[in-house]
Amino acid sequence: MIESLQTGWHSFLDLISGIIIPDWAALIGLLPVFLFFGVIMPIITLTVVRWLLYAVRKPRAHVALAEGPRSASLDAAGAPVYPTGEPFCTRDQLVYAPGRVECVTCHQALSVVCPKCEVGRPASLSTCGNCGLVLVAVPRVHALRPAGPPRGGAAAA
Ligand SMILES: [Zn+2]
Ligand SMILES: [Zn+2]
């Protein structure tokens, strides 16, 4: 195993020395390449890394502002697509954070599509009239935090 590796290494060295080492003109000709990989590439890499760090940090600041309305995404036909369970304004094609019931732009009552049965209703109604699913409208910051033991955990088990 080691022997075959050494043999392979020696034949590799022979190959390399046969190609590169005696040929100084070619080596000098490759200097711009070495310069490129040794100097310019690190600079580009550093720039890209700094840019990436900036791009990674930027969304965090963006998430803090995510409570405001955002434009609904459009499908292939250009029609707005509203995510289920999130209030939206059909007039301005804006999607709001859960808990909002009125559009800040046109003051129209927001609508919401039930995530369970996909039936629409006014966002002010927390319970779906079709399937009875209740959308609990709490701010996202609180929704992420588990509030004590799960409701009825012992009784359900
Ligand atoms: Zn509106
Ligand atoms: Zn429903």
The answer to whether residue 25 sits within a structural domain is yes
The answer to whether residue 154 sits within a structural domain is no
Question: Which letter does DSSP use for residue 20 in this model?
Answer: T
Residue 145 identity (one-letter amino acid): R
73 and 55 together in one domain: no
75 and 137 together in one domain: yes
43 neighbors 116 (Cβ within 8 angstroms): no
Per-residue pLDDT reduced to its tens digit, 68-91: 799 999 999 999 999 999 999 999
91 and 52 together in one domain: no
129 and 101 together in one domain: yes
Using alpha carbons, list the distances in angstroms from residue 50 to 38, 56, 59, 116.
19, 10, 15, 43
73 and 138 together in one domain: yes
- Please report the beta strands in the chain, taking only residues with DSSP state E, as ranges in sequence order: 70-71, 73-74, 80-81, 88-89, 94-95, 111-113, 120-122
Which residue, of 64, 89, 110, is where some domain finishes? 64
Q: Ligand 1 center to residue 109 CA distance, Å? A: 8
pTM confidence score: 0.47
82 and 58 together in one domain: no
Q: Which ligand is nearest to the CA of 119?
A: 2
The answer to whether residue 156 sits within a structural domain is no
Return the structure tokens found at 41. Answer: 């590439």
Per-residue pLDDT reduced to its tens digit, 103-144: 999 999 999 999 999 999 999 999 999 999 998 766 555 445
Q: Ligand 2 center to residue 137 CA distance, Å? A: 15
User: pLDDT at position 27, please?
Assistant: 73
Q: Ligand 1 center to residue 137 CA distance, Å? A: 19
Q: Ligand 2 center to residue 110 CA distance, Å? A: 16
Question: What is the extent of the structural domain holding 10?
Answer: 2-64
Our count of domains for the chain comes to 2
Q: Ligand 2 center to residue 113 CA distance, Å? A: 8
Q: Ligand 2 center to residue 129 CA distance, Å? A: 7
Q: Looking at the predicted structure, is the pLDDT value of residue 33 above 70?
A: yes
Q: Ligand 1 center to residue 23 CA distance, Å? A: 73
